[in-house]
Chain A
Amino acid sequence: MLMNGSVLKAFGSVQSVRFFSASPVSMVKKSILKIRATERKEVNLLRQKYISEKNSNVDPVLGLPNNPFLNRIDAESKEPNVLGRSYQLPELEKLLYGAQEASVKDSYASASVSDSSLRQREAVLRILSMKNRADAEVLKFKIGLAKKEFQRFEGDTGSSEVQAAVATVRIHHLYHHCKDNKKDLQNVRLLRMIVQKRQKILRYLKRDNPERYYWAINKLGLTDHIVHMEFNMDRRYMQKFKMYGDRILIKESNKIQEEERKQRRKEKKLLKHKSLNELRSMKRALSKP
Chain B
Amino acid sequence: MARQNFIGLVVSQGKMNKTVKVQVERKTFNRIINKEIMKRKNFLVHDEGNIAREGDIVRIEACRPLSAKKNFAIAEIRKNKGSQFAKYDQVAKQQVLLEENEKTKEFLDRRAKTELEIKNNSSLISDLSFIAKGVVTAQGELSAEETEKIAQIKEKYGIKSWPPQKEVLELEIQTLKEKVRSLQDTIDFVDPVLSKLMEEEYAARVDDLLKEVSKKEPSELKKGVKKNILRKYLLKNPEAAREKFRDVIEQVKSQ
Interface string of A58-82 (1 = CB under 8 A from B): 0000000000110010011001110
Chain B residues lying within 8 Å of A259, measured Cβ to Cβ, are none
Is the CB–CB distance between B168 and A94 below 8 Å?
yes
Nearest Cβ on chain B to A253's Cβ, whole angstroms:
30
Is the CB–CB distance between A114 and B92 below 8 Å?
no
Question: Which chain B residues (120-173) contact chain A, with CB distance < 8 Å?
Answer: 123-126, 128-129, 132-133, 135-136, 162-163, 168-173
Q: How far is the CA of A52 from the CA of B15 in the complex (A)?
A: 8
Chain A residues lying within 8 Å of B163, measured Cβ to Cβ, are 108
Binds B, one of A16-24, A136-144, A173-181, A212-220: A212-220
Given A118-B123, A214-B89, A79–B169 Cβ distance below 8 Å? no
Nearest Cβ on chain B to A71's Cβ, whole angstroms:
9
Cβ of B93 within 8 Å of any chain A Cβ, yes or no, is yes
Is the CB–CB distance between B172 and A88 below 8 Å?
yes
Is the CB–CB distance between B15 and A97 below 8 Å?
no
Is the CB–CB distance between B135 and A94 below 8 Å?
no
Is the CB–CB distance between B129 and A114 below 8 Å?
yes
Is the CB–CB distance between A81 and B129 below 8 Å?
no
Interface core residue of B84, B114, B162 (most chain A CB under 10 Å):
B114
Chain A residues lying within 8 Å of B85, measured Cβ to Cβ, are 210, 214, 224
Q: Which of B17, B89, B100, B111 contacts A79 (CB 8 A)?
A: B111
Q: How far is the CA of A121 from the CA of B129 in the complex (A)?
A: 14
Interface string of B79-110 (1 = CB under 8 A from A): 00000110011011101100110011001000
Given A72-B103, A93-B124, A95-B171, A51–B88 Cβ distance below 8 Å? no
Q: Which of A75, A213, A215 contacts B107 (CB 8 A)?
A: A75
Classify the secondary structure of B's interface with A.
helix
Is the CB–CB distance between A118 and B93 below 8 Å?
no
Cβ of B118 within 8 Å of any chain A Cβ, yes or no, is yes
Q: How far is the CA of A52 from the CA of B95 in the complex (A)?
A: 27
Chain A residues lying within 8 Å of B136, measured Cβ to Cβ, are 108-109
Is the CB–CB distance between B169 and A218 below 8 Å?
no
Q: Which of A68, A80, A94, A149 contacts B124 (CB 8 A)?
A: A94
Q: How far is the CA of A68 from the CA of B101 in the complex (A)?
A: 9
Nearest Cβ on chain A to B92's Cβ, whole angstroms:
4
Interface string of A117-133 (1 = CB under 8 A from B): 11001000000000000
Nearest Cβ on chain B to A5's Cβ, whole angstroms:
21
Nearest Cβ on chain A to B224's Cβ, whole angstroms:
30
Chain A residues lying within 8 Å of B91, measured Cβ to Cβ, are 211, 214
Is the CB–CB distance between B123 and A93 below 8 Å?
yes
Q: How far is the CA of A95 from the CA of B124 in the complex (A)?
A: 10
Is the CB–CB distance between A215 and B96 below 8 Å?
yes
Is the CB–CB distance between A80 and B118 below 8 Å?
yes
Interface core residue of B15, B17, B162 (most chain A CB under 10 Å):
B15
Cβ of A48 within 8 Å of any chain B Cβ, yes or no, is yes
Nearest Cβ on chain B to A54's Cβ, whole angstroms:
10
Chain A residues lying within 8 Å of B93, measured Cβ to Cβ, are 218
Q: How far is the CA of A224 from the CA of B123 in the complex (A)?
A: 48
Chain B residues lying within 8 Å of A219, measured Cβ to Cβ, are 96, 99-100
Interface string of A80-114 (1 = CB under 8 A from B): 11000000101101111110100000001100001
Is the CB–CB distance between A215 and B132 below 8 Å?
no
Q: How far is the CA of A207 from the CA of B73 in the complex (A)?
A: 29
Is the CB–CB distance between B107 and A109 below 8 Å?
no
Given A72-B104, A76-B107, A91-B171, A121–B123 Cβ distance below 8 Å? yes
Q: Residue of B at shortest CB range from A90?
A: B124
Q: Which of B89, B118, B124, B162 contacts A218 (CB 8 A)?
A: B89
Chain A residues lying within 8 Å of B129, measured Cβ to Cβ, are 108-109, 114
Chain A residues lying within 8 Å of B169, measured Cβ to Cβ, are 94, 97-98
Nearest Cβ on chain B to A110's Cβ, whole angstroms:
9
Q: How far is the CA of A59 from the CA of B110 in the complex (A)?
A: 32
- 29 A/B residue pairs, CB under 8 Å, sorted by A: A12-B17, A51-B15, A52-B15, A68-B104, A75-B111, A80-B118, A81-B117, A81-B118, A88-B172, A91-B173, A94-B171, A97-B124, A97-B125, A97-B169, A98-B169, A108-B162, A109-B133, A109-B136, A121-B125, A149-B103, A210-B85, A210-B88, A214-B89, A215-B92, A215-B96, A218-B95, A218-B96, A219-B99, A224-B89
- Enumerate the 8 nearest inter-chain pairs by beta-carbon distance, A residue then B residue, closest first: A93-B124, A108-B132, A214-B92, A109-B132, A68-B100, A114-B129, A218-B96, A214-B88
